[in-house]
Chains A and B, each alone.
Chain A
Amino acid sequence: MDAGQDAVSIAPRSRGRRRWRLSAQAVSWLQVSPLAIILITFFALPTLIFLVVSFYDYDRVGIYPDFLLDNYREILTSPATLRVYLSSLQFAFIVWAITLFLGFNIAYFLVFHVRSRMMRTVLFLACAIPFWTSGIIRTIAWIPFLGRNGAFNQMLQGVHLIDRPLDFLLFSPFAVCVTYIHLFTLLMIGPIANSLAKIDPALLEAARDAGASRWRTMVDIVIPLSKTGIALGSILVFTQVMGDFFVVKAMSGGQSASIVSQLATEIQAMQYPPAAASAMILVLFVAIMVGGMMRVVDVRKELVR
């Protein structure tokens, strides 16, 4: 009886739909177009404009269409560029190593040790909710904690571990690293937890059955099977640190500069062509680094799995 009614109600609808049926090709174009439009207008076109402007001539009052390589020459030969790239790479490496260690362990704990689904959701939310506030607020929040008369120093003094406040805590490379790690560990946890969750727990039992130690299981089974997540997380953290502007500015106390903060100085001075050129160099540099990481782990192949 029910089936009969269904058939009656479905029949006219499907006939109506047939009239509007598009070819498979048109459907594909429609599906791809929203993202394509966004990417073209907000990513490809601006990048193209930057590329064009980076060859322009400029003075204190304006920019002039031209095709000069001077902007690039200046950046590539300046010792300041090398210094700031090295400093950013150093931050990127330290932050990458620590967020990877923390992220992997937290993800492993969440996926394999937390048994109840409810508890896992709660813990995931505990990781994710701070992420909902702006990075700037979370950065500034460290200042009263790490400052000379901040909570951490007062606590250490309170238990008489130190008699004078520690100065390196704030406005230092240390503060920059702490903030980066706080900001970006979630970017590691997410992708790694995702790929760990795809591992059949029976595989871990099989490894144990085969007599493998925890360490061997980790090295031979878990890490190879989660390398997609590790690679994705690494790319996210790396690009975030390389593209950072605010954290270095707020937390280093002027002791370090980042690539983008240097670029921002040029923009403030209305030197758009050199700013565009350094943006192009940064984009190229990060693209090459990410390309290298993708070489090691074929993320695309693993994502569609």
Chain B
Amino acid sequence: MDTHGIRVQRRFDVELVQVTKRYGGTTAVDGISLRIPPASYCCLLGPSGCGKTSTLRMIAGHEVISDGDVLIHDVNVTDLPPVERGTAMMFQSYALFPHLNCLDNVAFSLKARGMAKAQRHAKAREYLALVHMEGFAERLPSQLSGGQQQRVALARSLVTEPRVLLLDEPLSALDPFLRTRVREELKRLQRELGISFIHVTHSQDEAMALADLMVVMEDGHIRQAGPPREVFERPVSAFVARFIGGHNVLQGPGGMIAVRADRCRLGDPADGPHLPARVAAVEYQGPSVRVALTVGKGRDASVLVPDEQFYAEPVQPGDAATLVWAERDAHALAGAG
């Protein structure tokens, strides 16, 4: 079905063409198009209910596509079952089979493909080793910690050598320390395996740390897609700027603008573009201090002040202040709000 032997260079690992998902009368995903280049780490980012999980499940083949097409490695897979798509999914709850030990969990998809027992166990061990879980082969999932279960789930989805790995909020059940470590590991695996990962998350930190391609979704639409740096430097709308964080969305002279919080200062009206504000809270964050401000008619903004600079001229909640930024840091936004 695919040009496997000849290795024709594929254009995209995954391509979505006007993909739509309707549940009864409501539209969860509204005609989105997206192209994921070969071997990329793609993060679908957005608040809950934005359609990111539905999109992932449509790519996986667990959700019927109401309209549009999904292509994987340039093959239209819209009407194919998951197993013929070359995708593998890692579920949010991991969905490990509770009555099977780790080895059999990982070997399950090989069993489904009719591989002999010795062979599938050998391969399953190999993939358990890939996620450093070879010592837990005989354990049941309930005897593992959350992080360990996640590794087994990862091994189980990779064992079929998928073309695209789909991850549904893989880090949400882990504690913050573990999250950072697993994040590094996911990125390492993706690089080593040279396949595309599509990772659904509502955490912008996660998306920025991992993604080659960051896709910000809202209300069933893609609001912006691009490398994280591009999205962070040039958010297209107030929603994107707010959602990825680290930005102040302000009323500039010529319309809405976004200014990065670390490029804003507390200063004097003479310094440049400015807005009068009142200090709402002060949070010490180690290298910097975040000063939360109320600007104008109750709009929130914040300023990240390097700690030395802050303690040279400290402010208290309730103080009047002036929010100042440089003209070149202001970034005009499309759309109001």
Contact = CB atoms under 8 A, between A and B. Distances in A.
Contact of A210 (B62, B92, B99, B156): B156
B82 interface: yes
Interface string B121-139: 0000000000000000000
Nearest to A221: B97
Interface in A211-235: 211-213, 216, 220-221, 224-225
A203 B112 contact: no
B93 A220 contact: no
Contacts of A205: 62, 89, 91, 95
Interface in A171-230: 200, 202-203, 205-213, 216, 220-221, 224-225
A221 B88 CA distance: 18
A225 B109 CA distance: 18
Contact of A200 (B82, B93, B108): B93
B62 A212 contact: no
Contact of A208 (B82, B113, B157): B82
Contacts, number: 61
Given A202-B91, A205-B91, A206-B91, A212 B112 contact: yes
B56 to A, nearest CB: 12
Contact of A212 (B60, B93, B95, B108): B108
Given A205-B62, A220-B108, A220-B111, A210 B95 contact: no
Given A216-B112, A220-B108, A220-B111, A211 B82 contact: yes
B160 A203 contact: no
B108 A207 contact: yes
A216 B107 CA distance: 14
B255 interface: no
Interface string B151-185: 00000110010000000000000000000000000
Contacts of B99: 224-225
Nearest to A224: B99
Contacts of B83: 208-211
Interface centre among B60, B87, B99, B112 (most CB of A within 10 A): B112
Interface string A133-158: 00000000000000000000000000
Contacts of A221: 97
Given A208-B82, A211-B82, A211-B113, A202 B108 contact: no
Given A203-B97, A205-B62, A210 B91 contact: no
Given A208-B62, A208-B82, A210-B160, A200 B95 contact: yes
B70 to A, nearest CB: 15
Nearest to B106: A210
A210 B98 contact: no
B81 interface: yes
Contacts of A209: 60, 62, 82-83, 87-89, 109, 157
Interface in B41-95: 60, 62, 81-83, 87-89, 91-93, 95
Interface of A is mostly: helix
Interface in A79-111: none
Given A209-B60, A210-B156, A211-B109, A225 B91 contact: no
Contacts of B109: 209-212
A199 to B, nearest CB: 9
Contacts of B91: 202, 205-206
A221 B99 CA distance: 8
Contacts of A203: 95, 97-98
A212 B160 CA distance: 12
Given A205-B62, A216-B112, A211 B160 contact: yes
A213 B112 contact: yes
Nearest to A211: B83
Interface in B307-323: none
A97 B97 CA distance: 27
Interface in A6-35: none
A267 to B, nearest CB: 47
Nearest to A204: B95
Contacts of B111: 216, 220
Nearest to B91: A202
B112 A210 contact: yes
Nearest to B142: A305
A212 B87 CA distance: 14
A202 B97 contact: no
Interface in A227-284: none
Contacts of B98: 203, 225
B108 A208 contact: no
Contacts of B97: 203, 206-207, 220-221, 225
A202 B93 contact: yes
B95 A206 contact: yes
Contacts of B156: 210
A206 B109 CA distance: 9
B95 A202 contact: yes
A213 B157 CA distance: 17
A285 B108 CA distance: 40
21 contacts: A202-B91, A205-B62, A205-B89, A205-B91, A206-B95, A206-B97, A207-B108, A207-B112, A208-B83, A209-B82, A209-B89, A209-B109, A210-B109, A210-B156, A211-B112, A212-B108, A212-B109, A216-B111, A216-B112, A224-B99, A225-B99
**Closest 10 interchain pairs by CB?**
A210-B109, A211-B83, A206-B95, A202-B95, A212-B112, A211-B112, A209-B82, A224-B99, A209-B89, A202-B91
Interface of A: 200, 202-203, 205-213, 216, 220-221, 224-225
Given A202-B93, A210-B83, 13 more contacts: A205-B62, A206-B91, A206-B97, A207-B97, A208-B62, A210-B88, A210-B108, A211-B160, A212-B109, A216-B111, A216-B112, A220-B111, A225-B98
